[in-house]
Amino acid sequence: MAVLTGKQRIWLTGATSGIGLALARRLLAEGHRVALSARRREALAELAEGHDSALVAPLDLTDRESVRDAGRQIDVAFGGLDLVIHNAGTCEYLDARHFDVDLVERVFAANFHGALHVVDAALPLLRKARDNDGSRPLLAAVSSASAYLPLPRAEAYGASKAALSHFLESLRLDLAGERIDVSVIHPGFVKTPLTERNDFPMPMRVGADVAAEAILKGLEKRTLDIHFPKRFTSIVKLLGILPPTLRRRIGLAMTRDTTNENQKGTL
């Protein structure tokens, strides 16, 4: 079982469900000081109960000041951060027949702009830990295997995750001179409340505990691209580098036949 070395000061977002909940339980059990963030204070308090090393830091990712307030609370309590795991996000699928720009903006607000807000609040705390302790802090965020390959109905979700991956990989280059590392996490399908809403097959789906183990193992090794399950994500990565004509052909094979749906007047 993967274990993070030492007792670290960690900020975990999206801590109350799915992958985040599995990570929170593991990190608290290991004795790390963990700032737990999500929208619902009550759920966070329940998760933190019985753990003196837990800090409840609720936030709204789409509200920059809310995220900054959480960062200030963590600074007072921890005096810096050794590790940030930004896990929070959302998913909505687009029906191009009824193009919904509000949907796209909602998804980007949570998945991309929300991540920017967390990075904005976290970087001063990572720098503080580095300067005070001489350590090499780590910033990590959960993207998605969909960032590797354009997929039907994923215009909003996939693009928001691809933007996040690109942003973090660029940031990694600019932070290298500051001795701050960046890991990007690209999960395949994971059994969570979010994926339970999916209405399509999810090949090689894994449980949240399996995902947490893969993430912690990658973080301990400071892996640049943490992706799993590898038998699935390796295929997706390979498909993503095919010529555009072949990628289009594969994508069309996965696109729904909406002829009958149109006739019925349903989605």
Q: Which residues are catalytic?
A: 157
62/70 Cα distance (integer angstroms): 13
Q: What does DSSP assign to residue 206?
A: E
Strand 138-142 to 33-37 pairing:
unpaired
Distance of CA 148 to the CA centre of its chain: 15
Q: Can you give the three-state secondary structure of 19-82, one letter per residue?
A: HHHHHHHHHHHCCCEEEEECCCHHHHHHHHCCCCCEEECCCCCCCHHHHHHHHHHHHHHHCCCC
Q: Which tokens sit at 252?
A: 């069309």
